[in-house]
Chains A and B, each alone.
Chain A
């Protein structure tokens, strides 16, 4: 799980071209939208694309997406839940 979160943070920084931010600057439970990283609705679409490209997970329901993209922790838990046991 820790390795997955570390990898996810690096992928988020690369996909969203976050300037001057390192993976260690992103807290696991910090909100990605609003206060935390200050991401917006276009970024949420980019994160959906990230999940599909890197983890082959397609989020069909936008309401589900809101919960999944709350933080790095919630994204990692979702990815792990979709991976074969």
Chain B
């Protein structure tokens, strides 16, 4: 079983290699102007060149920093606020509907407001990223808290646990799958908003790099940046899966 899975994976990688070869062919035959579409060879060369000169690494670190700070801030604030709202029936009745109302708002629309308040600064980017990333986490936490098995609460009451103890020992662990799912969703949001903020505010990062490359029609550098952004999205999501598996191991074991 395991063996066939590896074989399929290999075949699938071969198909992907075939697509890259086709891309190379299209670029070599100049079916699309090389100004727009560099071949994979040129994109790869640009990637290597960018890293060996240190430019690209600096931009990558810039984007990762924006993403990480905003996302961590959003995670902490989102879980705290979500726990506060989710653990009280009164708050759920009064506050949660307003939050649900705000959910479909395209978060990028907050960018102009943030620019007006904070200017084209690093702080503006962090505010926007955190603001965008907080929603999935907070709503998932509220949902997770609301869905806790009621009998667990009864047990807690008969044990005369304090509210903080109930949150830490019962509600948080039981809501953890929801919270982690929200955090995973937020990771994507944080990456997208980082790129947008870098484009708008000219902050050091991959977003700024791809925009400058496009303006100068350096398409190989542009594709190198886009490939790196794809890799960032892929690797952060894999890292999140690993964390999820580890943290939720007790749950799968119990089932």
Chain A bound to chain B: no
Interface, chain A (partner B; CB < 8 A)? none
Interface, chain B (partner A; CB < 8 A)? none
